[in-house]
Amino acid sequence: MGWQWQKAKRTDPDRVARHWLILAVASAWVLAHGTRVEDAIARGRLPAHLHAPPACPPLAHRSPSGTRCLSVFLLGLHAAQEQFHRTRRWRCLWLAPEPWPHDPPGLTVTRLHTAETAA
């Protein structure tokens, strides 16, 4: 919903495909900006002073309840807009994945193990 795709009036499949490609690249770029901002907040530094991804990223900047105060997308969108206004760009961006969540209690998970996945 960040790019308001639902408001687009495109109907030609080729144009829709190009539009989605642009949205995918823009989303990855904005999320990378948000990751840098979030890593900087977690370390108590300004994002402009964080020039490389941290070796061991801490958990994201969260509220006491464990949820994010702002999404990585919104952090990144704000940071990218601010850089455009200042005509400055960060040269190094990165994406840091969230740890995989634990299975909830009481959930039975069956995983298929084959010779290919066991090797």
Of 7-11, 54-58, 69-73, 77-81, the least confident: 54-58
How does the average pLDDT of the chain come out, rounded?
Answer: 83
For residue 25, the enclosing domain spans: 5-118
Of 39-43, 53-57, 88-92, 108-112, the least confident: 53-57
Across-strand partners of 68?
62
Single out the residue of 115, 114, 99 nearest to residue 60, CA to CA: 99
The per-residue pLDDT for range 68-87, each reduced to its tens digit, is 778 899 999 999 999 989 88
Two structure tokens written together for 93: 């961006």
Give the total number of structural domains in the chain.
1
Q: What is the DSSP string of 63-114?
A: -TTSSBSS-HHHHHHHHHHHHHHHT---S-----PPPPPPPPTT--------
